């Protein structure tokens, strides 16, 4: 039997790295791989509070989302035009900003611990990192692909925290369904060609 | 038979069928509007958990349905909401073909209606936030995919995704952590989260930007449908919270907060209306401003009860549908249009100008139109407020008035002499003429609608 609490610190480190790289990188294949790894971290933090069978739902949902969005992105105009650079120019400023956020989140985690009493420190830290970096990603770009991925990052952060207080099967199913619906809506936005404005 | 089966599962199933049949747009329009009308009729006529006798046949509609071990409950007091919802869907689906909406519109509208019913009937009630998010996600195919419109759509997605966790977390705090105890230390945290969630759901300034973008850059009919029903869902949800959580309703400061929020919405969006020149953006800010007025009615729940709230919303449905219908048809005739300068393909049909002007003045609450007595009732309940309160309210309402007059003036001064365009023959006139007659009838006999809601809410 795996003790996920012992692994939680490594999960937080993993989440910090994946969510940071997802903002910085512009290689979509690399980003999708990072998303898949990120959901592994989410799974291990959720598994502290939930039975492993239920926590697996998060992992499987996340991987399905990654597959759907990734496959759709390959066929989109945006995906074909991408340069695929691993470290594009001008990303150092973003990295500096991310580091500031990470430091703030690590220091804030103890305050939030008083509020969400059922969560461990690492669950709170991992959750806050994902929510903060997800918000940052959403606020930096206007293209559907990174915005949708930013929303997934934000939501998975929330789901870690929420799993510590709510273990209802219905809400687990609803949130999984909502994530899949968001993936479909995002894919629709990614794949639909841009039409002339104001048609009617 | 249970109420959730009738008003949630059945329309959801029909929505799926209509989606597969969407290539036959006229047929799906007819089926969709007939079914919505039928469900509206049932909401008016059928009582829940009461014996119904039809000749020798006797039956009862249960209020509960079990799904995945959780209860979905449609209660008697929800019938007013169902009536408004399916009345609105009947109107919007009926007009979608003539307004040039996409072929999937009837299916999407019924699907959204089913999700809205799920949102108000799921237990625990705060899970509704997930359904509201699903409604937002489901409405995306109805919106334009132009470059600028897409920015609005992404903002809509982002804001609703940010609002949902706040509400879900409040749900836990309310049910598990004993925050309902008066004077609890967590009360301020709950209040903050609720306000944050509703700020996103109700598109309160400064997170309102998706509304004017979507309405300006998407087809007016679909965009108005999405915006109007998304905002109404948030209002129904807020109303449900106030009705279900006694301790929340017994917090006196809450009603003051609601009053100030309503005033804020009316004033801010009214100020925007003073400076709008684009007809579609005027519709966007008018909807937002009127949402403020509904929030003001919500703040009077302890005095006026739910009847005023429901009656006010019910009376908004037809003018907003008529406005978006006329605007969608009018937009067909313009290469570009604003109240300051226009480039027309031909002179617009006077019926379309009439439809826009009538719905704008109706929403403003002019006498002889249905919203007049209800707006007077809302203002009457505010008579204890200060002069400064009424000054700012007048500033907000003034914005709507200026926008309405400017729209009317600019439409009437369009260069005459060119051939009057008469798109799609008489079929466009019929909804406008019938809506006009109904609006005047309801304006002359306001008690008709109010008595229906008095009976349903009682």
A197 contacts B147? CB cut-off 8 A:
yes
In chain A, which residues have their Cβ closer than 8 Å to the Cβ of B176?
Answer: 165
Express each pLDDT in A74-105 by its tens digit.
877 666 555 555 556 667 888 888 899 889 88
pLDDT at B453: 66
Residue B321, SS3 per DSSP: helix
Judge whether A50 lies within some domain.
Answer: yes
Per-residue pLDDT of chain B (458 residues; tens, 9 = 90+): 788 889 999 999 999 999 999 899 999 999 999 999 999 999 888 888 777 777 777 778 888 888 777 788 888 888 888 999 999 999 999 989 888 888 999 999 999 999 999 888 887 777 888 889 899 998 888 886 666 778 888 899 999 999 888 888 887 777 665 555 555 666 777 778 888 888 899 888 888 889 999 988 888 899 999 999 999 998 998 888 888 777 777 777 888 888 999 999 999 999 999 988 888 899 999 999 999 999 999 988 888 778 888 888 988 999 999 999 998 888 766 555 566 555 555 567 788 888 999 999 999 988 888 889 889 999 988 888 888 999 999 999 999 999 999 888 888 776 554 555 555 567 788 889 999 999 888 888 877 766 776 666 66
Taking 50 as the threshold, does the pLDDT of residue A200 lie above it? no
B163 burial (CB, 10 Å; 0-12 / 13-18 / 19+) is buried
Residue in chain A nearest B159 by alpha carbon: A151
Judge whether A16 lies within some domain.
Answer: yes
Angle, helix A144-163 to helix A4-24, in steps of 10 degrees: 160
Alpha-helical (H) ranges within B252-349 are 252-274, 279-298, 301-331
Q: Give the sign of the dihedral formed by CA B74, CA B76, CA B79, CA B80.
A: negative
Q: How far is B296 from chain A (nearest CA, A)?
A: 32
Among chain A, residues having any CB pair with chain B shorter than 8 Å are 115, 135, 138, 142, 144, 147-148, 151, 154-155, 158, 161-162, 165-166, 168-171, 173-175, 177-178, 181-182, 184-186, 188-189, 192-200
Q: Looking at A107-116, A158-167, B155-164, B191-200, which range is the least confident one?
A: A107-116
Judge whether A197 lies within some domain.
Answer: no
pLDDT at B445: 81
B137 contacts A184? CB cut-off 8 A:
yes
Q: Rounded to an integer, what distance in angstroms lies between the CA atom of residue B270 and that of residue B279?
A: 15
In chain A, which residues have their Cβ closer than 8 Å to the Cβ of B186?
Answer: 115
Residue in chain B nearest A167 by alpha carbon: B172
Judge whether A200 lies within some domain.
Answer: no
Q: How far is B210 from chain A (nearest CA, A)?
A: 13
Interface with chain B: mutation pick from A183, A198, A199, highest number of B CBs within 10 Å: A198
Residue B445, SS3 per DSSP: coil
A178 contacts B137? CB cut-off 8 A:
yes
Tokens of B187: 């009360």
Q: Rounded to an integer, what distance in angstroms lies between the CA atom of residue B113 and that of residue B161?
A: 20
Interface with chain A: mutation pick from B163, B172, B209, highest number of A CBs within 10 Å: B172
B130 contacts A178? CB cut-off 8 A:
yes
Please report the DSSP string for A42-56 in residue order. Answer: HHHHHTTTS-HHHHH
Q: How far is B64 from chain A (nearest CA, A)?
A: 16
Q: Which residues contact A34 (CB under 8 A, 6 or more apart)?
A: A18, A21, A22, A25
Judge whether A115 lies within some domain.
Answer: yes
Q: What is the mean pLDDT of chain A?
A: 84
B158 at A interface, C-beta within 8 A = yes
How many structural domains is chain A composed of? 1
Judge whether A196 lies within some domain.
Answer: no
In chain B, which residues have their Cβ closer than 8 Å to the Cβ of A154?
Answer: 161-162
Q: Containing domain of residue A45, as a range?
A: 4-83+92-191
B130 at A interface, C-beta within 8 A = yes
Taking 80 as the threshold, does the pLDDT of residue A165 lie above it? yes
Q: Rounded to an integer, what distance in angstroms lies between the CA atom of residue A199 and that of residue B288?
A: 23
Q: Rounded to an integer, what distance in angstroms lies between the CA atom of residue B156 and that of residue A55?
A: 29
Single out the residue of B227, B141, B241 nearest to residue B197, CA to CA: B241
Residue in chain A nearest B151 by alpha carbon: A142
B140 contacts A147? CB cut-off 8 A:
no
The model's confidence at residue A4, banded by pLDDT at 50, 70 and 90, is: confident
Cα–Cα distance list, A107 to A126, A127, A129, A158 (Å): 12, 13, 11, 18
In chain B, which residues have their Cβ closer than 8 Å to the Cβ of A175?
Answer: 130
Considering CB atoms only, which of A151, A169, A196 is closest to B157? A151
Tokens of B412: 């009437």
Interface with chain A: mutation pick from B70, B133, B165, B179, highest number of A CBs within 10 Å: B165
Considering CB atoms only, which of B70, B144, B150 is closest to A199? B144
pLDDT at A199: 41
Residue in chain A nearest B330 by alpha carbon: A200
Task: Please check whether residue B67 is in contact with residue A169, taking contact to mean a CB–CB distance below 8 angstroms.
Answer: no
B121 at A interface, C-beta within 8 A = no
Single out the residue of B199, B193, B293 nearest to residue B248, CA to CA: B193
Considering CB atoms only, which of A138, A144, A200 is closest to B150? A144
A162 contacts B168? CB cut-off 8 A:
yes
């Amino acid at each position: 039997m795996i003790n996920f609490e012992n692994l939680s610190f490594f999960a937080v480190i993993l989440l910090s790295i994946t969510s940071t790289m997802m903002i910085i990188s512009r290689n979509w294949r690399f980003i999708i791989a990072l998303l898949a790894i990120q959901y592994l971290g989410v799974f291990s933090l959720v598994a502290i509070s939930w039975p492993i069978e239920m926590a697996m739902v998060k992992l499987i949902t996340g991987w399905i989302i990654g597959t759907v969005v990734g496959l759709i992105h390959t066929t989109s105009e945006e995906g074909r035009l991408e340069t695929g650079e691993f470290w594009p120019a001008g990303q150092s400023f973003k990295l500096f900003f991310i580091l500031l956020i990470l430091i703030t989140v690590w220091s804030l985690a103890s305050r939030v611990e008083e509020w969400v009493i059922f969560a461990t420190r690492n669950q709170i830290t991992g959750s806050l990192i994902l929510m903060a970096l997800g918000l940052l990603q959403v606020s930096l770009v206007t293209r559907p692909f990174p915005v949708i991925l930013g929303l997934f990052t934000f939501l998975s952060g929330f789901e870690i925290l929420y799993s510590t207080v709510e273990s209802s099967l219905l809400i687990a199913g609803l949130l999984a369904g909502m994530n899949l619906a968001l993936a479909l809506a995002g894919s629709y936005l990614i794949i639909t060609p841009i039409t002339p404005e104001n048609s009617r | 038979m249970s109420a959730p089966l009738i008003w949630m599962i059945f329309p959801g199933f029909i929505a799926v069928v209509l989606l597969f049949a969407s290539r036959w747009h006229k047929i799906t329009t007819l089926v969709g509007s007939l079914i919505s009308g039928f469900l509206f009729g049932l909401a008016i006529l059928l009582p829940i958990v009461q014996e119904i006798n039809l000749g020798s046949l006797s039956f009862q509609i249960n209020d509960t349905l079990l799904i995945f071990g959780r209860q979905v409950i449609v209660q008697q007091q929800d019938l007013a909401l169902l009536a408004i919802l399916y009345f609105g869907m009947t109107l919007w689906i009926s007009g979608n073909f003539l307004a040039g909406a996409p072929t999937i519109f009837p299916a999407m509208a019924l699907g959204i209606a089913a999700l809205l019913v799920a949102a108000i009937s799921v237990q625990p009630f705060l899970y509704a936030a997930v359904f509201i998010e699903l409604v937002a996600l489901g409405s995306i195919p109805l919106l334009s995919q132009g470059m600028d419109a897409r920015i609005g759509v992404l903002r809509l997605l982002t804001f609703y995704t940010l609002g949902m966790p706040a509400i879900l977390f409040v749900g836990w705090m309310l049910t598990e952590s004993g925050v309902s105890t008066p004077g609890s230390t967590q009360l301020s945290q709950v209040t903050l989260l609720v306000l944050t969630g509703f700020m996103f759901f109700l598109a309160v300034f400064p997170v309102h930007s998706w509304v004017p973008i979507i309405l300006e850059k998407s087809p007016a009919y679909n965009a108005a449908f999405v915006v109007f029903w998304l905002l109404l869902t948030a209002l129904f949800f807020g109303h449900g919270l106030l009705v279900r959580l006694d301790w929340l309703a017994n917090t006196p400061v809450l009603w003051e907060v609601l009053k100030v929020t309503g005033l804020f919405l009316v004033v801010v969006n009214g100020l925007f209306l003073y400076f709008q020149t684009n007809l579609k953006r005027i519709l966007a800010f008018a909807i937002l401003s009127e949402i403020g007025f509904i929030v003001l009615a919500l703040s009077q729940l302890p005095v006026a009860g739910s009847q005023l709230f429901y009656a006010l919303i019910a009376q908004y449905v037809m003018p907003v549908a008529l406005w978006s219908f006329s605007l969608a048809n009018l937009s067909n005739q313009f290469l570009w249009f604003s109240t300051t300068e226009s480039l027309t393909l031909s002179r617009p049909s006077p019926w379309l100008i009439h439809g826009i002007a009538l719905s704008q003045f109706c929403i403003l609450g002019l006498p002889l139109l249905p919203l007049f007595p209800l707006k007077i009732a809302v203002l009457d309940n505010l008579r204890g407020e200060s002069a400064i309160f009424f000054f700012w309210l007048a500033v907000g309402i003034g914005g709507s008035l200026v926008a309405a007059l400017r729209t009317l003036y600019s439409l009437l001064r369009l260069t005459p002499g060119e051939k009057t365009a008469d798109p799609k023959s008489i079929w466009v006139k019929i909804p406008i003429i019938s809506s006009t007659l109904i609006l005047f009838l309801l304006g002359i006999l306001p008690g008709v609608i109010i008595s229906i809601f008095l009976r349903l809410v009682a």
